[in-house]
Structure 1
Amino acid sequence: MELISSAKRNRLFETFTEDAFHLELRDDYSVPDENGPYESWLRGETVDYSYMEPWTQLIKRVTGEGKTVRRVRVVTEPHTPYIQWEHAATSYNEEAGEQIRWLPRHFLPGELVFPAGGNDWWLFDSRLLAVGHFDSDGRVLGSELVEAPDAVAECVRVRDLLWDLATPHREYKP
């Protein structure tokens, strides 16, 4: 399996034409750029969210072109500290143009089996998957690109199901 870096995955935002969708299934992420801000938040200090600017600028640009960027965060309740912090920071994503919804894990349909081995994924234009892979400590190893029609179709089905079940960020109260 060949993995591409997060930077190469983000280049896919240059080529999609309509919709990019992200499914997040983890209750904690070990993202190096977030370590300092997250630690500040845990200590109750003011957080410098400038590390998000490359992402928010990208999202502003693509949503300004009329494209949609959406994500569903499937989370365990009660929330981990990381998810609490992520919820507190989501307004920056939304101000940039992302649409974010939350789905408590206990509301998932019992028969649901997550595609892509239960990993997080980005789905671009309902045709290309970038499946995230993580090490045992939660650090991103990279993304696997998948275009197999059956795998993509299953992710489209799950995307549509979860999007309809999830609560928009502004209405979700942890």
Structure 2
Amino acid sequence: MKLITSAERNQLFEQFAHDAFHLELRDDYSVPDEDGPYASWLRGEPVDTSYMESWLRMVERVTGEGKSVRRVRVVTEPHTPYIQWEHETTPINETAGEAIRWLSRHRLPGEITFPCEGNDWWLFDGRLLAVGHFDEHGRVIGSELIDAPAVVAECVRVRDLLWDLATPHSEYKP
């Protein structure tokens, strides 16, 4: 399996035409850029969110062009500290133009099976997947690009199902 870097994956945001959708299934992410801000938050200190600036500028630009950037976060309740932090910082993403919804694992339909071996994925325009792969410590090691029609179609189905079930951030009360 060939993996692309996070920077290469982010270049896909320069190419999509209408919709970028992210399915998040993990209760903790070990993203190196977030290590310091997350540790500060855990200590109750002010959080420097400057590490998000390039992402937020990109989201503002593409959503300003009429494109959508959406996420569904499937989470365990009660939340891990990381998900609590993510919930608290979500308004920053939404201000930039992302639409973020939350779905508790206990509300998942019993028949759901997650494509892509249960990994997180970005779906671009319902035609291309960037499937995240993680090491044993939860660090992203890269993304696998998949455009196989059957796999993409299943991800489109799951995206639509979960988007309809999930609660918008402004209404989600952990």
Q: Deviations over 1:22-63 (max 9, x none)?
A: 000000000000000000000000101111101000000000
Unaligned runs of 5+ in 1: none
Whole-Å separation in 2 of the counterparts to 1:137 and 1:162: 27
Whole-Å separation in 2 of the counterparts to 1:36 and 1:59: 23
Whole-Å separation in 2 of the counterparts to 1:151 and 1:64: 30
Whole-Å separation in 2 of the counterparts to 1:136 and 1:171: 34
Stretches (4+) displaced over 4 A: none
Tell me how far 1:85 sits from its aligned partner: 0.2
Tell me how far 1:146 sits from its aligned partner: 0.1
Whole-Å separation in 2 of the counterparts to 1:112 and 1:16: 27
Tell me how far 1:138 sits from its aligned partner: 0.3
Whole-Å separation in 1 of the counterparts to 2:120 and 2:100: 15
Whole-Å separation in 1 of the counterparts to 2:15 and 2:47: 33
Is 1:9 the counterpart of 2:9? The answer is: yes
Match of 1:75 in 2: 75
Is 1:152 the counterpart of 2:152? The answer is: yes
Task: In structure 2, give the amino acid aligned to 1:100.
Answer: I
Is 1:121 the counterpart of 2:127? The answer is: no
Instruction: Count matched residues.
Output: 174
Match of 1:28 in 2: 28
Unaligned runs of 5+ in 2: none
Match of 1:136 in 2: 136
Is 1:94 the counterpart of 2:86? The answer is: no
Q: Percent same amino acid among aligned pairs?
A: 78
Whole-Å separation in 1 of the counterparts to 2:165 and 2:74: 11
Please give the root-mean-square deviation of Cα atoms over the aligned residues, in Å: 0.3
Tell me how far 1:124 sits from its aligned partner: 0.1
> Equivalent residue of 1:23, what SS?
strand
